[in-house]
Structure 1
Amino acid sequence: MSEYWCELVQTRTGIERDVVLSIEDGRIESVTPDRPVPPGASVLPGLTLPGLANAHSHAFHRALRGRTQTGTGTFWTWRDQMYQAAGRLDPDSYLALARAVYAEMALAGITSVGEFHYLHHGPDGTPYRDPNAMGYALIEAARQAGIRITLLDTCYLHGGLTADGYRPLEGVQRRFGDGGSDAWYQRWSALRGDENTRIGAAVHSVRAFAAKDDYATWAARTAGVPVHVHLSEQPAENAACVAHHGLTPTGLLDAHGFWSAHATAVHATHLTDADIAALARAGAGVCFCPTTERDLADGIGPAGELARAGVPLSLGSDSQAVIDLFEEARAVELDERLRTGQRGHFTSAALLAYATATGHRALGWADAGRIEPGALADLTTIGLDSVRLAGTVPRLATEAAVFAATASDVTHVMVGGRTIVRDGVHQLVDAVPQALTAAVHGLFG
């Protein structure tokens, strides 16, 4: 058993002071506040939080940071640049890039990532000798970086949707496809997780999976695992779906029995009242990625309406324009203020829960995201002595963290009781900035 003395700890009931955490076999054994430092205990000054959950990531998008920030355009012009990066990766280069990206996430306090993975095959669509080589590269990258991963292996069968129907996969899209839903299932069912890895599943979007591909069978085959889908990110997607199917994307998926308590809709930016009701009725969640949604000019999603309907919210970094779950959390509230002209829609505790407990639950790690006996010992500590957080009042530490902290304030990160970040330095990956530079430059030359 190991002991840690924490200056402040965020629990379900609020901020506790002078807390001794006992950890054994990767789980929290006890949480005891108002204690002096025990002999031999490790001291964690600052605010200790449950580890953060990044519920939606495309690791390879990290290579685009800065490259897609010039000029004008829309989501669709950004996608053309993204496809260029997608066409350059192989299992070795993806391992190097993802390892560095996941190390960056660890430095930002993230202990679990949901990797929405669809770069399955070679650039021309030819499978690798191991058809899951790219997925296993991501699993290995997370292992080397010390964080947990839920591999959301994605079914991507069509190249787009118009009022006239579905387009075939073209160009680099060919590496995303398996030829059909049955072939995807055959490949997906061969994937294996471990104590660090959950195997989930995803439908890329209603643009890439058609009713004829049989949503009901797909949902039955993936029952019980985390299931995600890009949903209503762009008005053009909604318009094409309504024109072709006579239903919104949410309505189409609802009609085919896709939604469940294991399902998470990613983005969900442009929803109708009926869409929100359908998600709530099924117990499905929504993952917002505000920095990406702003960066791509997607719009501001209906966070307030979803929360009031009882839809659980989680957060993701998506395109890696920024990897900072504190920024994503406060953006939910701040964007809602912009959308409504009013302040105070979400408490700091609720916003923090979106970055922790509900995010882990959306990824199949229901025993993470809280600091209490029996929970996984996945913890993130932020210092309170930076220029951003200096002067923090202990009883308002949650508010200060959510509305002022950044990834740079993370000092200590633990996953399963193992320290992977100490004093702001990654303990498993040397020189993370240099590793990122090498991986990105290796991709683009």
Structure 2
Amino acid sequence: MSADFHLACALLPDGWARDVRLSVGPDGAITALSVGEAAQPGDTRLGTILPGMTNLHSHAFQRAMAGLSERRGSGTDSFWSWREIMYRFLDRLDPDAVEAIAAMVQVEMLEAGFTAVGEFHYLHHAPDGSPYDDAGEMAARICAAATTTGMALTMLPVFYRWSGFKQAPATPGQRRFNADPDLYARLVERARHHAGQLPHAVVGIAPHSLRAASMDDIRAILPLADGGPVHIHIAEQTGEVDACIDATGARPVRHLLDRQPVNDSWCLVHATHMDAGEVRDLAASGAVAGLCPMTEASLGDGLFPAVDYLAAGGRFGIGSDSHIRIDLAEELRLLEYGQRLTRRERNVLSAPGVSTGRHLFDAACEGGAQAIGQATGRIAVGQRADLVELDESHPVLAGRSGDALIDSWLFAGDARQVRSVHVGGIPRVIDGQATCRETVSRRYEKTLQSIMAGWTT
């Protein structure tokens, strides 16, 4: 169904514009755009509009365990001790639970201003490790959640074969992820089948990491991408870097760049620990660095070398990964604040005279859309009509306009300043609340009550 919109003020690719009129086709793409035009009868009238943001890295099921790992163990807590809790938790999840959790995650993303998500999906099998009758059953449930919420989805089925760089067999805790190339091909095929039922869906591939997929494995599965995105976790932890050097003689990012055709279809998630040569060469590859500042802070990963990477022309996007919190503004704020804390400076990730918030927002929109292969992140003809309306009446945004509005939202605000969200021209958030929130939250609460029965930390 076609629709027309009148935007009082909108951030277009070449800057802010007033009285922007859009026409949106039945596929959700913008077919016409004019500036300085009065509203016409029948137009949907909106206020100040930003393009929709991509959340490029999500493990939806982990939202349900947020907060459950905040008890110190007998030794030093780290990513690796957190992972053991995650393995215990996921054994409680069946397909119905995964669908309920994914829908809640997508609701929270929409309300924060995200309109598309890259789901790095590795929870494939039943609790005993056996494939479901439909190998893509769990992918189907992520897709069903997107049908409910209207979130644009890029499915990234994960290839996970080994437990370490020296190709040790997967551990019992990894049995729900495990696949060889043949089974993985079935998982991708079934994900494509289920995603094909959605209006805005892309399917790519995701070798989990260099410790879970060998170089030969990655070469074997790359054709399954079929031109779509390729995502991989890499260099998230110093222990991972040390293990890679021990097994291969090279750091993880270097090992990958030297042995795989990394280009602008790739997204290297985290890439936290790189030396100067890796920073330079990753930036030159055209790939996107997938940054997840809140999760990286929660897990004690470290800080991405953002200053050097951006100076080299590197591209990045943001994701909420483990969903310890879901807040677009806070992801970008923490990205900048991490650099401020280490460098003891302010407005680190922007050029002189440039709005830091605007610079980060534009870059994350562009990099995120590239990373998940979707036509979003810009308000322009041919792009999907993903529109995020800010509430200028909110005290955080009072009296602001232009780039100051973005700065105030990102550095002083949160999801409460998002008034409405459209995905492909369809309203998915109205007056700050997702249109399906009530139904989704009821199901989520019931699901969590069941999952948490008898849980001990």
TM-score, normalised to structure 1's length?
Answer: 0.93
Residue 410 (structure 1) aligned with residue 418 (structure 2): yes
The aligned amino acid for 1:131 is A
- Give the alignment partner of residue 300 of structure 1, picking from 294, 298, 303: 303
| Pair 1:184-2:191 in alignment | no
Structure 1 stretch 108-117 or stretch 355-364: which is displaced more? 355-364
Work out whether residues 101 and 436 of structure 1, in 8 Å CA contact, stay in contact via their aligned partners in 2.
no
1:223: Cα distance to partner? Answer: 4.8
The AA in structure 2 aligned to 1:362 is A
Tell me which moved more, 391-400 or 298-307.
Answer: 391-400
Unaligned runs of 5+ in 1: none
- Equivalent in the alignment of 2:367: 358
Q: Residue 356 of structure 1: SS of its match in structure 2? A: helix
Q: Which residue of 2 aligns with 1:380?
A: 388
Aligned to 1:2: 3
1:200 counterpart residue number: 204
Secondary structure of the residue aligned to 1:208 is coil
Match of 2:291 in 1: 288
The Cα shift of 1:283 comes to 1.6
* One-letter amino acid matched to 2:428: I
In structure 2, list runs of 5 or more residues that go unmatched: 351-355
- Contact 1:242/1:248, CA 8 A, preserved across alignment: yes
User: Structure 2: how far apart are the matches of 1:222 and 1:360?
Assistant: 17
Alignment partners' CA distance in 2, 1:285 and 1:302? 14
Please state whether the residue corresponding to 2:360 is helix, strand or coil.
helix
Q: Is the 8 A contact 1:382 1:410 kept in 2?
A: yes
Question: Aligned letter for 2:168?
Answer: R
Q: Report the counterpart of residue 335 of structure 1 in structure 2.
A: 338
Shift of 1:370: 0.4
Which residue pairs with 2:137 in the alignment? 133
1:269 corresponds to 2:272: yes
Answer yes or no: is the 8 Å Cα contact 1:219–1:258 preserved in 2.
no
Residue of structure 2 in register with 1:13 after alignment: 14
Greater shift after overlay, 16-25 or 292-301? 16-25
Q: Which digits, 9 at most, give the CA deviation of each residue in 1:241-300, with x for residues without a partner?
A: 001110111122123214121110001111111212332332211010001111111111
Aligned pairs, number: 438
Aligned mates of 1:300, 1:248 — CA distance in 2? 17
Paired residue secondary structure (1:9): strand
Counterpart-to-counterpart distance in 1, 2:368 and 2:359: 12
Matches of 2:431 and 2:447, distance apart in 1: 25
Indicate if the aligned counterparts of 2:135 and 2:186 stay in contact, CA closer than 8 A.
no
2:241 counterpart of 1:232: no
CA displacement at 1:413 relative to structure 2: 0.9
Q: Secondary structure at the match of 1:343?
A: coil
Counterpart Cα distance in 2 of 1:154 and 1:350: 32
Give the drift of 1:369: 1.0
Write the mapping of 1:79-228 to structure 2, written as runs, cut at 5 A: 79-161=83-165, 165-178=166-179, 180-192=180-192, 193-194=195-196, 195-211=199-215, 213-228=216-231
Indicate whether 1:247 and 2:255 are aligned.
no
Q: Which whole-Å CA distance do the structure 2 matches of 1:139 and 1:289 have between them?
A: 23
- Aligned partner letter, 1:443: I
Q: Which moved more, 1:407-416 or 1:214-223?
A: 214-223
Identity over aligned residues, as a percent?
35
- Post-superposition CA distance 1:131-186 (Å, at most 9, x none): 1101111111112111111111000011234xxx23321223111001x2233224
User: In structure 1, what residue type is equivalent to 2:329?
Assistant: F
Instruction: Output one character per residue of 1:82-115: Cα deviation in whole Å (capped at 9) or x when no partner.
Output: 1122111121211111112112211222111101
Q: Is the 8 A contact 1:10 1:398 kept in 2?
A: no
Q: Structure 2 CA distance, aligned partners of 1:130 and 1:216?
A: 26
Shift of 1:399: 2.2
- The aligned residue for residue 316 of structure 1 is 319
Report the residue type matching 1:41 in the other structure. D
Q: Which amino acid aligns with 2:361?
A: L
Please tell me whether the aligned partners of residues 216 and 256 of structure 1 are also in contact (alpha carbons under 8 angstroms). no
Q: Which residue of 2 aligns with 1:61?
A: 62
Cα gap change, 1:215/1:278 in structure 2, threshold over 3 Å: closer, same or farther? Answer: farther
Residue 353 of structure 2: aligned partner:
none
Query: Once superposed, which parts of structure 1, at least 4 consecutive aligned residues long, lie more than 4 Å away?
Result: none
Per-residue deviation, residues 14-58 of structure 1 (Å, max 9, x unmatched): 22223333323212233333344433322223x211111100000
Residue pair 1:9, 1:16 contacting (<8 A) in 2 also = yes
Asked whether the equivalents of residues 207 and 218 of structure 2 are also in contact (C-alpha less than 8 Å), the reply is no
The TM-score, its normalising length taken from structure 2, stands at 0.91
Question: What CA distance in whole angstroms lies between the structure 2 residues aligned with 1:441 and 1:263?
Answer: 38
Cα distance in 1 for partners of 2:403, 2:200 equals 34
Paired letter, 2:53: L
User: Which one-letter code corresponds to 1:27 in the other structure?
Assistant: A
Report if aligned partners of 1:119, 1:176 keep a CA contact under 8 Å in 2: yes
Q: Is the 8 A contact 1:315 1:354 kept in 2?
A: no
Is residue 250–residue 278 contact of structure 1 (8 Å, CA) maintained in 2? no
Which segment drifts farther, 79-88 or 131-140?
A: 79-88
- Give the aligned partner of residue 41 of structure 1: 43
**Cα RMSD after superposing both structures:** 1.9
> Residue 27 in 1 paired to residue 35 in 2?
no
Supply the distance in 2 between the matched residues of 1:93 and 1:433 (Cα, whole angstroms). Answer: 13
Q: Deviations over 1:409-435 (max 9, x none)?
A: 111111111111111222234254434
Paired AA for residue 115 in structure 1: E
